[in-house]
Every structure is written in C-alpha cells, then in structure tokens.
A and B are shown apart, each in its own frame.
Chain A
Amino acid sequence: MTVAALSPATSGRRVTHALLRDRGAVLSTAFLALIVLLAVFAPLISAITGHGPNDFDTAAIDTDLGGIPRGSLGGISAEHLLGVEPQNGRDILARIAHGARVSLLIAASATALTTLLGVVLGMLAGFYQGWVDQVICRVMDFLMAFPALIFMIAILSSLPQGNRSVLLVVVISVFGWPYLARVVRGQTMTLVNREFVEAARASGASTGALVFKEILPNLRSSLIVMVTLAVPGYVGTEAGLSFLGVGVTPPTPSWGQMIAGSVGWYAVDPMYFAIPGAFLFLTVLSLTVLGDRLRAAFDAGEAS
C-alpha cells in the first residue's frame, strides 16, 4: 500500500521534471499562461487601454475607403496595439482578450463535463460489464455514428434563444464523451481482473472504495493525457461552430466569430483575419504540444 501511495507522487515529479527540460513544453505552457492571463484580466486591459470589446472607434477607420482601418497593418498603433476591426473600429486586443474568456471557459467546461461523463460511464461499463456494458456500448456506437458536426449545428441553430455558451458545452460533451469512455472502459476491464483489485475485493472493500482507491488512481496518467489532448479539440470545435455562426451570439466576442467576420475583408485587411487566426492556431498548437509531451513523459515512465 505504501508503495502504491508513493509511486504517483514520484511519477508526478518525474513528469514535471521531464516537461521542464523540454523546450516545446515550456514554450507552450508560457503561451497558454499568457492566454489565461489575457482572459482573466480582459476587463482590466480594457480599463487601461480605454477600449471595451464592443466600443466603436470611428476615428480609427477610414469611412471614405469603405471603413478599412487607418494606418498600415490593420490599424496597429500605440492606441490600438493589435489594430481595429474594419467598418466599426472595435479594438482587436480587447476582443481577443474577451474572446479568450469565452473560448477557454467553453473548452474547459466541455472538457470537464466530457471527462465526468466519459469516466463515470466508461467505468460503469468496465466495472459491471454484462447488460450495463451492453447498453452503454450501444449508446456509444450510436453517438459515434452520428454526424456530430452537422447535428451540433442543426441543434444549435434550431435553439435560437437561451444561453448559447451552456448549450455549446452540453452539445460538445454529449458527442465527445464516448471517445474517452471507450478507453476508460477497456482499462477498467483489465484492472478489475488484476490481482490487487481482486485482493481488495476479497478483503471486503466496498464498491466505492474499489473504484476510488484502486481503479481511478490507476487510470490517472492516461486520463491526464487524453484530457490534455481533448482540450485543443474543443477549443477548435467552439471556434468552428462560432465561425459557422451557431456559436456564441454576437456581440459577445469569440475567436471563431472574429475569423468569420474577417472573411469578407481578408483581401483588403488581412490583419483582421491574421490576428485571431494566429491566436487560435497558437493556442491549439500549444495545447497539442503539451499533450504530446505529457504522453511521451508518461510513456517513458512506464517503459523504465
């Protein structure tokens, strides 16, 4: 028992150590920290620059030229650090920062809900097997056969009112959990038959104790990796749905929506497209790199 209790802590330290020595992982973490700070302090940034995410600034755009930003590079200046949107002159920095709040919040909530559903249902299926397993597996087959993107768009567009962010989280999670549950189910099945779980069961441990003390801790590393790799997917999905016009409702800013808004302008004002595009790309990339390195670190630990 002491050995089992000791090893997760040491493996955690070893993984942290491995990540700290990896340049890609450190850079990714730094960039993600920046985005989180941007999101957390979005109101503060607006207060300092004096530009709210929805404040129009007609001085920054040239109405004679159809409303393209004044100055080069999409209106980047001391006043507007990342330039302004064409036509209405909204500050892009303020919108990026506020958009980060929306994107990260939705991605984080969707990840949390997916993980909860995936772990609970996957463990139920793997632990009880029999008809419970049958039912859960059929539901997973069904959800995975569903054309998720089309259906997400259809549902979201047919529910015009209400809180879009909550709906997005629910819809993403409902279609996302089977991918996690499938892996959890398989691992639980092998764990249930391992000696230490049988020993605990024989010594009269309750089901709850079995699940929380014996099985869940052993799923930890693969869960961490799967969840880290799922987050960039959800950031991308949220942005994609917003891009298609069924995500968060305007004027609430979101990166995907900003990119959608830039479609008509990219020929004359490429920066309007490039900035949110770059933020989205770098965020997804950082999360992917981090997940990838995390997996490598855990794998190396298992091999040694």
Chain B
Amino acid sequence: MARYVAGRLAGMVLILFLVCLFTFIIFFALQPDPAVMICGKTCTPERIDQIHSVLGLDEPFVGQFFGFLFGIFAGRDYGQGANLVHCAGPCLGYSFQTGQSVWDMVVERLPVSATVAIGAAVLWLLIGIVAGLLSAVKEGTWWDRTAMGLALGGSSIPNYVLALALQYVLVVQLQVLPFPQAVAFGDDPVVWFESYLMPWLVLATGYACLYARLTRANVIDTLAENFMRTARSKGLSPALTMRRHALRPALTPIATIFGMDFAALLGGALITETVFGLNGVGKMAADSIAKNDQPVIMAVTLLAAFFVVIGNLVVDLVYTRLDPRVRITAQ
C-alpha cells in the first residue's frame, strides 16, 4: 500500500513537471517579450534590460525554468541590491499586470471556485442520482421516458447558453434574482446564496443530466444481476435488497467519475465564472490569458493539473475501499 502510493506520487510529480515544462516552453517560445508590455509605451532599452534582469528574463531558458520550479518550493529572489525582492515560498512569481503575488491571488480566489464547485456538486449529485434511480426503477414508464428525454436535452445545452438564458429569464424578465455579486457569506448570506444560485444551477445541469443517465444505466444493469435474484430468494425486504444489494454496485462507478469531475472543477469553472463575473480561479485564468499575464497562466495551468492528478489518485485509493475485488498491486 505505502509502496503503491509512493509510486503513484512519483508518477504525479512527473506529470506535473511535464505540464509545467510544456506550459513554460510554449509561453517562453511563443509569447512576445513581457518586458515590453510591462514597460509600456515610454520605454527605453535600458529600462527593458532592467526589467529583464529583475524578472530573470535575461537568463537562458533552462535557468528561468528551474528558477520558477525552485521558487514554488523554496521561494526565490528577484533583482539585486536595492531592487531585491524576496518572494517567499511557495512562490509563483508576480503578476505582470498588477504586480500582485500570484500565490496570494490563487489563495484569494480558490474559495470562490470551491464554493461554486461544492454547491454545484451537491445539486447535481442529488438531482442526477435520484432522477436516475427513479428512472431505473420505473424503467419504460412515462416518468422514465420524460426524465431521460430531459436529461438528453439538458446535457446538450452549452453552459454559457444556459447561463445567458437563465440570466435573461430570472434576472431581467422575472427579476427574482439579482445580478451575481461578490459578497462573502458572512456579510449577507441571502445575497451570497442568490449570487451563487445561478452558477450552481448552470454547472449542475449538464452534470446532473449525465449522472442521471449513468445512474439509470448502472442500476438497470445491476438489477439484472444474478445476485439480485439471490437476494430476493433469501426473503430480504425490497428496501434492503435495493439499498444494500443494488445501490452499492450501481453507484460505485459513479463515485469514481464524480471524483474526476469534481477535481477538474476545483481548477476553475472557466466559462461559468466568466459569464457570471465570479472572481474565482477560472475567471483568473480567462483574464490572465486575455492579458497575456504569463506567471498567472502558469499558475492556473499548474493548479488545474494538480487537482486532476490528485483527484485521480484519490479516486483510485477510494475505489479499493468501495470495491473489494480491486486490490492494489505495487507496480
């Protein structure tokens, strides 16, 4: 077990290193000189050189890359002498746009993305699994056909289309919700809830539809298993038969899919956050890309990859708990 986890962790570090390297290469090779951008229009060659030296951009590629990597763990210094700035680890550098510490930006915005992700996840798990279960139990009935038709439709709406449509109906026409505002929960719980409600609904819709279809398919497959016939032959109550014998086999695969989906969302719901103007990691990614803010782009890419890789590991470890047939074998 410990050996397995150690091996997996090593693999994760390798993947994160590669993600880092690729992102770095692409921006190192393809981007215009950030110094020119920082310096603005009234710029002298001396000033550009100075910025280069402060940011370490005069170093060769390998030096810059390892400078960045090293900074993540141990912090790093920018510039020399009087201009020296120490960036304490974990250091992801400073935004070219605002000069703010990228680590601080991430720390500040992560809770927003987490709020969006957790709220949406609660909604889509509840709706998706309950609807899927009902459909499976009532297979072929009016309810099943309607629910599955809706699920097919719901999973086909691009989330920005749904976001705009919801905003038009709920905010502009019916005026039951305000425009989303950045309010902390402690300041005004009602406005906080109203502000997050639409992002939650928008994100949850697609997933809920997908999970409803998955749940239905899995439950129907499980109900046809021989062990379900055994359970009935034993005289167990229908409730116990369903709860114990059908649900666990049917929902275990969904738990693994959920882990991956949720991990990916923690890295930022880019489109939803952008449409609703929520200051999460996703919006930060969109903004940084639009403004060519390389240190921020590096950070959001790395952060998202980090969550995916961690999510992968957690899912595999949890799976061995959920399905006794799966046992870890060290590679």
Contact = CB atoms under 8 A, between A and B. Distances in A.
Contact of A277 (B165, B292, B300): B165
Interface string B35-55: 000000000000000000000
B155 interface: yes
Given A142-B18, A158-B26, A244 B156 contact: no
A263 B164 contact: yes
Interface stretch (B97-105, B115-123, B182-190, B302-310): B302-310
A267 B270 CA distance: 23
Interface of B: 11, 15, 18-19, 22-23, 26-27, 30-31, 152-153, 155-158, 160-161, 164-165, 167-168, 172, 264, 267-268, 270-271, 274-275, 285-286, 289-290, 292, 297, 300-301, 304-305, 308-309, 312
A154 B18 contact: no
Contact of B158 (A141, A239, A266): A239
A155 B26 contact: yes
A243 interface: yes
A99 interface: no
Interface stretch (A90-98, A144-152, A206-214): A144-152
Interface residues of A, number: 39
Interface stretch (A4-12, A52-60, A285-293): A285-293
Contacts of B264: 147
A270 interface: yes
B209 to A, nearest CB: 10
Interface in A20-52: none
A240 B158 contact: yes
B110 to A, nearest CB: 15
B305 A289 contact: no
A147 B298 CA distance: 11
Which one of B268, B289, B290 has the highest number of Cβ atoms from chain A below 10 Å of its Cβ? B289
Contact of B304 (A147, A245, A270, A289): A147
A181 to B, nearest CB: 17
A154 B155 contact: no
Contacts of B31: 158
Which one of B164, B274, B286, B308 has the highest number of Cβ atoms from chain A below 10 Å of its Cβ? B164
Given A141-B15, A158-B27, 14 more contacts: A142-B18, A147-B264, A147-B308, A150-B270, A157-B290, A157-B292, A158-B30, A244-B270, A266-B164, A266-B167, A273-B164, A281-B156, A288-B156, A289-B152
A232 interface: yes
Interface string A45-87: 0000000000000000000000000000000000000000000
Interface of A: 141-142, 144-147, 149-151, 153-155, 157-159, 232, 236, 239-240, 243-246, 259, 262-263, 266-267, 270, 273-274, 277, 280-281, 284-285, 288-289, 292
A150 B271 contact: no
Contact of B155 (A142, A149, A245, A288): A288
> What 10 pairs across the A-B complex have the smallest Cβ distances?
A147-B304, A285-B156, A284-B156, A277-B161, A158-B30, A145-B308, A267-B172, A145-B15, A288-B156, A150-B285
A280 B158 contact: yes
Given A240-B271, A285-B152, A288-B156, A245 B285 contact: no
Given A155-B26, A158-B27, A158-B292, A259 B301 contact: no
A277 B301 contact: no
Nearest to B308: A145
A145 B300 CA distance: 14
A244 B297 CA distance: 16
B158 A154 contact: no
A259 B271 CA distance: 13
B312 A145 contact: yes
Contacts of B275: 263
